[in-house]
Structure 1
């Protein structure tokens, strides 16, 4: 019985050691989640800042990123703007407008400053967006807007015209 227990302890020790060694060998550029909603991009021990990213991105949340990370890199870490696709429609990216707002606290003046970047998906990035370096506790919101399509107008006009036609028939029957 003691031999079986000793063999089991030896095997479990080897498994735990191998698991710990495998965890230490993760690639340097791998992003990983600390907890739900917080994503760490920077390596442990690397100088980093915490950023809040909300809105129409595929992975919003609080990001720990290396110091010097640009706005474009952060949006890429969040896997870019969301795509509006349902069973009924596929989004035409050429008609998209993207609005990015960066809110930053100015401690000297004790006010919030907001930097806005607006552009169409098919256009060049606005001046300054590519090189915009993020700072500690910046708050970024991204909103994807699209031009209304014919179907959007029909979803509004259809029910209204149905109610009007029903009211006319009801009044006519009375």
Structure 2
């Protein structure tokens, strides 16, 4: 009977004994698991900073990262900017912005195109806890021969329609 009671207590209390410590910003307790839009990149006991990554990255969300993670590494953890296949008539510009709390306001602390950011390593600011990193990708379509044909066709059709209306009105007035 005593063994049955001990077995029952062990089975009932075992899940409580292995419960995971809650994760708080700035510190990762037990080994956390990544949840929907919350990503942890630190070892248990390491100090962390909480940074939000928004925009055209593969995995936007809130990141709990080691204190020595820089902007390029953070963007890499988020899957990098969207670099989908594009046609030759499209110019793609990716802009990286870092917003930071200053008092009660969130201000723009850094803005640069991805090309310039990569060309000047170290010119970007150090990431701080509660920063918001925005990645914006804009595709600008270039003017193509197809666009020219479309405009010429529309203008020609309009001119022919006006000419036809003028000739019809002249025939009715005679």
> So what's the TM-score if we normalise by structure 2?
0.59
Q: Indicate the structure whose relative CO is greater, using CA pairs within 8 Å and at least 6 residues apart.
A: 1
Match status 1:125 vs 2:127: no
Q: d(CA) in 2 for partners of 1:158 and 1:52?
A: 46
Q: 2:128 aligns with which of 132, 135, 144?
A: 135
Unmatched segments (≥5 aa) in structure 1: 1-30
Rg larger for? 2
Q: CA deviation at 1:103?
A: 0.6
Task: Give a deviation string over 1:120-143, Cα, whole Å, max 9, x none.
Answer: 6276126522xx332222111122
Q: 1:99 aligns with which of 88, 95, 99?
A: 95
Number of equivalenced pairs:
133
Q: CA deviation at 1:102?
A: 0.7
Within 5 A, what are the aligned runs for 1:8-27? none
Q: d(CA) in 2 for partners of 1:118 and 1:126?
A: 12
Q: d(CA) in 2 for partners of 1:154 and 1:46?
A: 57
Unmatched segments (≥5 aa) in structure 2: 1-31, 166-174
Within 5 A, what are the aligned runs for 1:1-174? 33-35=34-36, 37-86=37-86, 89=87, 97-107=93-103, 110-119=104-113, 121=115, 124-125=119-120, 127-129=122-124, 132-145=125-138, 148-151=141-144, 154-155=146-147, 157-174=148-165
Q: d(CA) in 2 for partners of 1:57 and 1:104?
A: 19
RMSD, aligned α-carbons: 3.3
> So what's the TM-score if we normalise by structure 1?
0.59
